[in-house]
Amino acid sequence: MYKKLDDTSLTRLLEAGIDEFAEHGLDKTVMSSIANRAGMSVGVIYKYFEDKDAFFLACVDYSLELLQQTMESVILNENDLRKCLKDLVADLISAAGEHRNYYRMYHEITSGSCGKYAAELAAKIESISAKVYTELLGKAEAQGRIAIKGDPRLFAFFFDNLLMMLQFSFSCDYYYERMKIYCGEENAADPQAVGEAFVDFMGTALGL
């Protein structure tokens, strides 16, 4: 039963890969399960990709593209800093819930077994978020609204750390459990509430 791959099939394959990798991690994922899930045969993966690692990296790229789209759709249409921040946080938190697996992929690459790609991947991902935060902080400074003590890069770093953890907390098992322990089930079940608390927290830190 031969079936030619149309142009959407590659996408289907990548998505199957993302689902499997997000669920089991790079090493525990079995190539033939990915093919199964995508409704095609293992061999085809090797027609398009060098090996498992290369395929994994392609899946990472694909999920990053989607994350990037999410981020870019957020920031550009607001003037009020606080509202801007609020929207950013709300959107990212709901994206984390909706596209759980893309964030799991993101988290997966931070793990030890991707060590050899650490530098390369960090550079690739940073280019996404740095853009957003530069813009955000730029606005704030232009408005003379914020009081950052010291190196603004460190400030951006802390901010992104927090935001990243929030996203992981709503997409990865371990961090979700951790959040429940810290904040209680009620809060963990109410992403928007956590987002608002975070905006308040950042508001204070920014001296808003």
Partner DNA sequence: TCGGTACGTGAATGAAGATTCACGAGATGG
Partner DNA sequence: CCATCTCGTGAATCTTCATTCACGTACCGA
SS3 of 76, please?
Answer: helix
Among candidates 96, 115, 98, 108, which has minimal Cα distance to 17? 108
The contacts of residue 71 (CB under 8 Å, 6+ apart) are: 92, 128, 129, 131, 132
For residue 11, state whether it binds a copy of itself (rule: CB under 8 A).
no
Residue 73 has which token pair? 């759709």
Give the ranges where 143-190 is alpha helix by DSSP (H). 152-169, 173-188
Residues near DNA (CB under 7 A), total: 20
39 vs 184 by CB, closer to DNA: 39
Run of H or E including 151: none
2 vs 77 by CB, closer to DNA: 2
For residue 113, state whether it binds a copy of itself (rule: CB under 8 A).
yes
For residue 150, state whether it binds a copy of itself (rule: CB under 8 A).
yes
For residue 140, state whether it binds a copy of itself (rule: CB under 8 A).
no
For residue 61, state whether it binds a copy of itself (rule: CB under 8 A).
no
Give the ranges where the chain is alpha helix by DSSP (H). 7-28, 31-38, 42-48, 52-72, 81-98, 100-108, 118-142, 152-169, 173-188, 191-206
For residue 205, state whether it binds DNA (rule: CB under 7 A).
no
Q: Which residues in the 51-90 window bind DNA by CB under 7 A?
A: 51-53
The item of a copy of itself, DNA, none sharing an interface with residue 32, based on CB under 5 to 8 Å by kind, is DNA
CA-CA-CA-CA dihedral for 135, 195, 80, 71, to nearest 10: 30
Residues that bind a copy of itself (CB under 8 A): 21-28, 104, 107-115, 118-119, 121-123, 125-126, 130, 147, 149-151, 153-158, 160-162, 164-166, 172-184, 187, 194, 197-198, 200-202, 204-205, 207
Residues that bind DNA (CB under 7 A): 1-5, 28-32, 40-44, 46-47, 51-53
